[in-house]
């Protein structure tokens, strides 16, 4: 009997490894289809911090951010090629204003200390650190970028100076913006709805939800799915990405099924760097793929151009599934990391932000190359079912042992609740298998839990009727139970 259990454990372990590693097939390669040229009048003319796709192919907006010269302005592109498509009369940036002006009637705000932008169709949302810490809205048209009447002030939220950072907006008009935080204070995510009346009046808006990250640090990236039910936030200080599940009305809980931590140490040209971290994030709704821009610095003195990547991340587990190696692409094209190659490579790899367009192409930027890159995929991107879940803590009372209850209801259709208790801090993994031992999903992926009792809701609406096994492990012991789905 003991031999039987050992064999069963080995089978389940191999199934878990193979399902996690090989379930998503990437059959193509990423390549640039467009690189704006910083050496002609089509360039942004300054350090390009963020990029966001707008409606249509080769249509996008670039954000210039250069603190040393106080320059924070937007550059729009329509039907862009490497040397055409830049909007506005001030081609080449020769007369670009140092700060883009939001102007509506007698109200005006100069965009200040802005680091990220987001788009909803042709609307552009900017997290600005002007005196009111405004979220400014602009609109891209055929000839230029114009002020849109929507705007709010976030001044009453007791932000520290210059604290707004990353921003995203979904198709519903829900806006998600992060505060910067620091080594002594966690960042926060403020959730707004741009359909609220405050956006039309430009007055102070109260967030619908406030999320405080579990660790201190710098939340430099945020993205959300179109339904507003899953939020991803990156922490530059520790290289983590957090996933939150919920909605704008009821709130959000941290998902333990998602576990992403970036590379700690990487050797580039015999130079070892330890500051590689996820920065900008974007979510591809059609395929449920999370994109994470990763690099080694932001506006620092040590410029390691040999690293700059975009990771394709499993939205349920945090596993890296594929990589767009921007730095290696630059090196292959130019023979070194810091050379620009016309319409092929930006050079000066500094990939801080990434966005996805309507055709599932991705856009990145080179901060020190002053360029925008469009990447296309030669194959067919896999579609991942979004099964990420949140966990609710039932009680902080310390249980006597590690245990899991029978799911309820059971039989169930289509969802059921699983409760578990741990008597000391432990890494918890909770997985669901079919009766033959094939991994169906991992609900909790090695997340650390403090002692207490917890419950999790498992939605099996995508599964066929039958018997399933849920198995929970605390790093030492595994407990498994059966449950029945009846449709």
Across the range 101-115, mean pLDDT stands at 94
Task: Say how far apart CA 224 and CA 169 lie, in whole Å.
Answer: 7
Q: Which residue has the higher pLDDT, 188 or 271?
A: 188
| CA–CA dist 362, 261 (Å, integer) | 22
Selection from 80, 415, 480, 472 nearest residue 256 by Cα: 472
Place of tokens 């140092």: 98
Q: What would the pLDDT profile of 196-214 be if each residue is shown by its tens digit? A: 999 999 999 999 999 999 9
Phi, psi values for residue 200, rounded to 5°: -80, -30
What pLDDT is attached to residue 262? 67
pLDDT exceeds cutoff 80 at 158: no
Dist CA 212 CA 157 (whole Å): 13
With 0-12 / 13-18 / 19 or more C-beta atoms within 10 angstroms meaning exposed / middle / buried, residue 25 is: exposed
Question: Mean pLDDT in the chain?
Answer: 87
Does the pLDDT of residue 287 top 90, yes or no?
A: yes
pLDDT at 302: 54
pLDDT in tens, 17-53: 333 333 578 999 999 999 998 877 888 989 999 999 9
Q: What is the pLDDT of residue 136?
A: 97
Place 298 in a pLDDT band, splitting at 50, 70 and 90: low
Global pTM reads 0.83
Average pLDDT score over residue span 284-302: 81
More confident residue, 1 or 446: 446
CA distance 142 to 290: 30
With a cut of 60, say whether residue 7 has pLDDT above it. no
Which pLDDT score, from 0 to 100, does residue 387 have?
80
All domains in the chain, ordered by first residue: 2-23+386-485 (2.60.40.1930), 30-377 (2.120.10.30)
The alpha carbons of the chain give a radius of gyration, in whole angstroms, of 24
Name the region of 15 (left: φ>0; alpha: ψ -120 to 50; beta: rest): alpha
pLDDT score for 444: 85
pLDDT, residue 91, reads 36
């Amino acid at each position: 009997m003991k031999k039987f259990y050992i064999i069963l454990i080995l089978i389940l372990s191999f199934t878990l490894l193979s399902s996690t590693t090989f379930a998503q097939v990437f059959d193509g390669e990423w390549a640039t289809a467009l690189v704006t040229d910083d050496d002609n009048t089509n360039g942004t003319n300054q350090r390009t911090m963020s990029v966001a796709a707008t409606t249509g192919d080769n249509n996008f907006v670039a954000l210039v951010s250069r603190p040393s010269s106080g320059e924070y302005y937007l550059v729009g592109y329509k039907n862009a090629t490497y040397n055409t498509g830049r909007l506005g009369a001030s081609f080449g940036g020769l007369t670009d204003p140092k700060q883009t002006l939001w102007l509506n009637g007698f109200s005006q705000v100069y965009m200040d200390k802005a680091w990220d932008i987001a788009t909803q169709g042709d609307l552009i949302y900017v997290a600005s650190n002007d005196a009111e810490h405004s979220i400014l809205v602009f609109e891209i048209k055929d000839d230029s970028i114009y002020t849109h009447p929507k705007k709010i002030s976030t001044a009453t939220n007791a932000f520290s100076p210059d604290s707004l950072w990353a921003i995203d907006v979904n198709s519903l008009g829900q806006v998600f913006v992060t505060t910067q935080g620091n080594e002594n204070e966690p960042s926060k995510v403020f959730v707004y709805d741009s359909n609220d009346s405050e956006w039309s009046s430009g007055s102070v808006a109260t967030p619908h939800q406030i999320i405080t990250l579990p660790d201190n640090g710098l939340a430099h990236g945020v993205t959300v799915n179109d339904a507003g039910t899953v939020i991803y936030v990156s922490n530059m200080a520790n290289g983590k990405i957090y996933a939150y599940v919920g909605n704008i009305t009821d709130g959000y809980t941290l998902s333990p099924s998602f576990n992403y931590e970036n590379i700690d140490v990487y050797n580039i040209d015999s130079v070892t760097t330890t500051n590689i971290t996820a920065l900008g994030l974007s979510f591809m709704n059609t395929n449920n793929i999370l994109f994470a821009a990763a690099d080694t610095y932001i506006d620092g003195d040590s410029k390691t151009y040999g690293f700059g990547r975009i990771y394709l991340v499993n939205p349920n587990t945090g596993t890296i599934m594929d990589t767009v190696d921007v730095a290696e692409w630059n090196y292959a094209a130019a023979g070194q990391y810091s050379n620009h190659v016309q319409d092929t490579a930006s050079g000066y790899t500094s990939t801080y932000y990434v966005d996805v367009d309507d055709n599932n192409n991705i856009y990145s930027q080179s901060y020190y190359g002053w360029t925008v890159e469009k990447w296309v995929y030669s194959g067919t991107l896999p579609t991942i079912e979004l099964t990420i879940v949140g966990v609710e803590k039932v009680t902080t009372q310390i249980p006597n042992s590690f245990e899991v209850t029978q799911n309820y209801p059971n039989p169930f259709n289509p969802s059921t609740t699983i409760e578990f208790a741990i008597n000391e801090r432990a890494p918890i993994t909770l997985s669901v298998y079919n009766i033959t031992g094939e991994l169906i999903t991992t609900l909790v992926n090695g997340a650390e839990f403090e002692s207490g009792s917890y419950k999790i809701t498992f939605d099996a609406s995508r599964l066929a009727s039958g018997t399933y096994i849920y198995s929970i492990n605390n790093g030492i012991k595994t407990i498994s139970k059966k449950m029945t789905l009846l449709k």
